[in-house]
Chain A
Amino acid sequence: IAGITQAPTSQILAAGRRMTLRCTQDMRHNAMYWYRQDLGLGLRLIHYSNTAGTTGKGEVPDGYSVSRANTDDFPLTLASAVPSQTSVYFCASSDSMALSSYNEQFFGPGTRLTVL
């Protein structure tokens, strides 16, 4: 079934530990995104990638890094987790190059991360 998968589903992490959230899509979308969702703050963009090999900073990039080695995968790494990074993380993708597309974003199921 086409879509986006994220792993893990949830994770409890000690502060200071390194963590990589995985995201894979099989829709051959060129663009991918990472958001964090916190109560009352909506969805905030962390990093994005318009195409394999390129990445860009979003609204709240500090403490996070991404890579886009190929079209399908877009991992998000927390180099040294802090409690303020406790959140729900969503990966999304879109086919921003398609002329007939609405450029709608397709979201993965999310990763619930708790940093203690």
Chain B
Amino acid sequence: GQQVMQIPQYQHVQEGEDFTTYCNSSTTLSNIQWYKQRPGGHPVFLIQLVKSGEVKKQKRLTFQFGEAKKNSSLHITATQTTDVGTYFCAGPGTGTASKLTFGTGTRLQVTL
């Protein structure tokens, strides 16, 4: 079945450092979504990428969809303590368009 892997599983940075998480799918994706889950909270949608090679920015966050549409990345510039949480990518599941297959997530810890 479809697998979506993320690396690293965990990263600890000092505030102000950059951070990147990578998402890799075993199959070509029609689109990819990113979610953020704060500690003790629930996942919240951040963005969706659809086009091959697409790059989107949200303030300090940059999202990229690979040319082959099998990988994606999220880069945070100059991390802040408010960036703490787990970041998940998700691709369309098999069999029905509404399902998502979530990646394993990358937990980001930011310290002063």
* Cβ proximity bits B77-106 to A, threshold 8 Å, 1 near / 0 not: 000000000001000010111111111110
The answer to whether the Cβ of B33 comes within 8 Å of any Cβ in the partner chain is yes
Residues of B within 8 A of A (CB): 1, 6, 9, 33, 41-45, 48, 88, 93, 95-105
B19 CB to closest chain A CB (Å) equals: 18
The answer to whether the Cβ of A104 comes within 8 Å of any Cβ in the partner chain is yes
Question: Across the interface, do B33 and A43 meet the contact criterion of CB distance under 8 Å?
Answer: no
Contact count A vs B, C-beta below 8 Å: 57
Question: Across the interface, do A50 and B96 meet the contact criterion of CB distance under 8 Å?
Answer: yes
Contact of A43 with B98 at beta-carbon distance under 8 Å, contacts A102-B45, A107-B43 already known: no
Question: Across the interface, do B100 and A42 meet the contact criterion of CB distance under 8 Å?
Answer: no
Contacts beyond the supplied A48-B99, A103-B48, A107-B43: 19 A-B pairs with Cβ under 8 Å: A40-B9, A40-B104, A41-B104, A42-B6, A42-B104, A42-B105, A45-B99, A45-B100, A48-B98, A50-B98, A92-B43, A94-B98, A102-B48, A104-B45, A104-B48, A105-B100, A106-B45, A108-B42, A109-B41
